[in-house]
Structure 1
């Protein structure tokens, strides 16, 4: 399983609207993507305009090719993109270890 980690910064004062938008985009678009396995979203306490989005995929290509090169990616960006203060920083990770 691959973890996509996106560090998202949004425009100040838009947290309530973004909270709704990101959940809508995840539930209406991302959950239907090929290879999607789950997600988590955390929002900053000290930095309220910062969000960390974790999406779990079967393979790296499920995110980078199947999703990113599909019309669903544009739908996702149309929902959440207007809130971005800067492009999200996205990286991918393999699981090394986990607790029981």
Structure 2
């Protein structure tokens, strides 16, 4: 299992609209091959900051299967205009 981690800095005062768009976009990611689960969490100290945690079976499921899919184009359309700056995405795996 691979954990995708993205810190999402949403443009000021656009958090509510981002959350609505993400509610639609979550249906896209959850339908992808290799997807296991996800959590979107809102920062308590900075109201326009979120963290997205997505569990994938493999890194290729995310990097190739999702990011190179036609479904990803809709994901981008729904969400990418909210970010400032654009997030860095990292992948983690358990050591045990």
TM-score, normalised relative to structure 1: 0.91
Greater than 3 Å deviation, 4+ residue runs: none
1:31-78, CA deviations, whole angstroms, 9 ceiling, x for partnerless residues? 111100000010111111111000110000000111111111111010
Deviation at 1:20, TM superposition (A): 1.0
Distance 2:10 2:68 in 1: 24
Taking only aligned residues, the RMSD between alpha carbons, in angstroms, comes to: 1.0
Distance 2:95 2:33 in 1: 23
Count of paired positions:
96
Q: Which runs of 5 or more structure 2 residues have no equivalent in the other structure?
A: none
TM-score, normalised relative to structure 2: 0.94
Distance 1:51 1:74 in 2: 21
Q: Which runs of 5 or more structure 1 residues have no equivalent in the other structure?
A: none
Distance 1:9 1:73 in 2: 20
**Structure-2 residue corresponding to 1:9:** 9
